A and B are shown apart, each in its own frame.
Chain A
Amino acid sequence: GAVVSQHPSRVICKSGTSVKIECRSLDFQATTMFWYRQFPKQSLMLMATSNEGSKATYEQGVEKDKFLINHASLTLSTLTVTSAHPEDSSFYICSAYGDTEAFFGQGTRLTVV
Chain B
Amino acid sequence: AQSVTQLDSQVPVFEEAPVELRCNYSSSVSVYLFWYVQYPNQGLQLLLKYLSGSTLVKGINGFEAEFNKSQTSFHLRKPSVHISDTAEYFCAVVGSNQGGKLIFGQGTELSVKP
- A interface with B by C-beta (< 8 Å): 1, 6, 32, 34, 41-44, 46, 49, 91, 93, 95-97, 100-102, 104-107, 109
Contact B102 A95 (CB under 8 A): yes
**Stretch in B22-30, B44-52, B76-84 touching the partner:** B44-52
Cβ-defined contact, B106 with A106, below 8 A? no
| Chain B residues, CB < 8 A from A106 | 42-43
The dominant DSSP class at the B interface is strand
Q: Of A1, A42, A91, A96, which is within 8 A of B107 by CB?
A: A42
Q: Is B103 positioned at the interface, with any CB of A under 8 Å from its CB?
A: yes
List 30 contacting pairs A-B, 8 Å CB cutoff, sorted by A. Answer: A1-B46, A32-B100, A42-B106, A43-B105, A44-B90, A46-B101, A46-B102, A46-B103, A93-B43, A95-B44, A95-B100, A95-B102, A97-B100, A100-B32, A100-B49, A100-B51, A101-B34, A101-B49, A102-B34, A102-B46, A102-B92, A102-B94, A102-B100, A102-B102, A104-B44, A104-B45, A105-B43, A106-B42, A106-B43, A107-B43
In the complex, what residue of chain A is closest to B9 when comparing beta carbons? A41
A69: min CB distance to chain B, Å: 15
Interface code B87-111, partner A: CB below 8 Å = 1, 0 otherwise? Answer: 0001010100001111111110100
Q: How far is the CB of B90 from chain A (nearest CB, A)?
A: 7
Interchain nearest-CB distance for B45 vs A (Å)? 8
User: Smallest CB–CB gap between B93 and chain A, Å?
Assistant: 11
Interface size on B, residues (CB 8 A): 24
User: B70 on the interface (CB 8 Å rule)?
Assistant: no
User: Are the C-beta atoms of B104 and A49 separated by less than 8 Å?
Assistant: no
B100 pairs with A34, CB closer than 8 A: yes
B90 contact set on A, CB distance < 8 A: 43-44
| Chain A CB within 8 A of B41 CB | yes
A6-B42 Cα distance, complex, nearest whole Å: 11
